[in-house]
Amino acid sequence: MNIAIVTGGASGIGRAIATALVARGDTVIVTDINAPGAESVAERLNTLGRGRALAEGLDVTDAEAVATLYKKVHAEHGRLDLVFNNAGIAIGGLAEELTLDHWNRAIDINLKGVVHGVQAAYPLMLEQRSGHIVNTASLAGLVPMPMGIPYTATKHAVVGLSLGLRAEAASAGVKVSVVCPGFVDTPLLANINPGLPETPMSGDGRAQIKKQAGGFYTVERLARDVLRGVARNEALIVAPATGRTAWRGMRLSPKLAVRAAQFAATRYRREHHGR
């Protein structure tokens, strides 16, 4: 039985990972800025009759709150085995459609939220000489993805952070993986740029993304892929197969990958701006 923390656990990928962990018998602290949502998820997971779920409200942009919670979990359970720094938001729109508010929100949640989780968990795991940190990035962290470059930039940063930390942590008994999902069916797709200045992708980003992706992977299948990758201590967990294909294409020919992204951006600009 593992002791695990999952951020962004009230919905989407976080909820699916928390569900898979409890289903196999782990104790999971489900955290989310939406505290009632986290509580609802925990209550449902506790009906599975296997592991156990606890709920905590948590704003990952608050470094002190993150550190306090992680230390509390470690103190109460005597260890911290798994941390899924998963909370994130989507940003959609061309660079000229976005404001500094879009950039700052993406950096605060998608990047600094992961940094805060790492800073809170890593010292505890170094002390116990065990543990696994799993950071959620995106396929956008591996390939050039337009119409949301604040999101793309932060996810590239999470990939670099994770791989660099993995190299440092290996000799100390701590494992680090980064999850890079392709297009997964989550609430983020339906609500792009929440509470931020609107762009043509605001409100119905799902339709725009579906046009680019052609279809979505389920969070349940992704959760299985993630736990399989964690069990194998994979550095990069890339799913689904279409995402792995895109990643291979980027490695084989960055020039062609950029051209494909350029085509998508040109089509979007023509459809929404007539040029």
For the stretch 11-30, pLDDT in tens is: 999 999 999 999 999 999 99
Fold of 3-273: Rossmann fold (3.40.50)
User: So what's the pLDDT on residue 269?
Assistant: 87
User: So what's the pLDDT on residue 161?
Assistant: 98
- The position carrying tokens 């700052």 is 104
The residues with which 47 forms a beta bridge, in sequence order, are none
Q: Is 48 exposed, middle or buried (0-12, 13-18, 19+ CB in 10 A)?
A: middle
pLDDT tens for residues 108-156?
Answer: 999 999 999 999 999 999 999 999 999 999 999 999 999 999 999 999 9
User: So what's the pLDDT on residue 72?
Assistant: 98
User: So what's the pLDDT on residue 108?
Assistant: 97
Cα–Cα distance between 58 and 85 in angstroms, integer?
12
| Cβ contacts of 129 within 8 Å, gap of 6 or more | 172, 173, 174
User: So what's the pLDDT on residue 214?
Assistant: 55
First vs last C-alpha separation in the chain: 57
| CB of 155 closer than 8 Å to CB of 109 | no
pLDDT tens for residues 52-65?
Answer: 999 999 999 999 99
Element at 196 (helix H, strand E): none
Sheet holding 3-6, edge to edge: 52-57, 27-32, 3-6, 82-85, 132-136, 175-181, 236-239
> Which among 125, 123, 126, 132 is positioned nearest to 162, based on CA atoms?
132
Band (45; pLDDT cuts 50, 70, 90): very high
pLDDT tens for residues 218-271?
Answer: 999 999 999 999 999 999 999 999 999 998 999 999 999 999 999 888 898 888
Annotated catalytic residue, options 70, 122, 151, 268: 151
CA 42 to chain centre: 19
Please tell me what DSSP assigns to residue 237: E
- Section 28-57 average pLDDT: 96
Domain boundaries, the chain: 3-273
Indicate the average pLDDT of the chain: 92
CA dihedral (164, 166, 168, 169) in degrees, to 10, reads 150
- Top-confidence residue, 107 or 271: 107
Phi, psi of 238 (to 5 degrees): -110, 125
Cα–Cα distance between 273 and 265 in angstroms, integer?
11
| Cβ contacts of 109 within 8 Å, gap of 6 or more | 60, 61, 87, 88, 89
Does the active-site annotation cover 151?
yes
pLDDT tens for residues 184-228?
Answer: 877 765 667 778 888 877 765 555 565 555 567 899 999 999 999
Q: 226 to each of 57, 65, 94, 221, how far by Cα in Å?
A: 24, 26, 31, 9
Q: Token digits for 138?
A: 């995106």
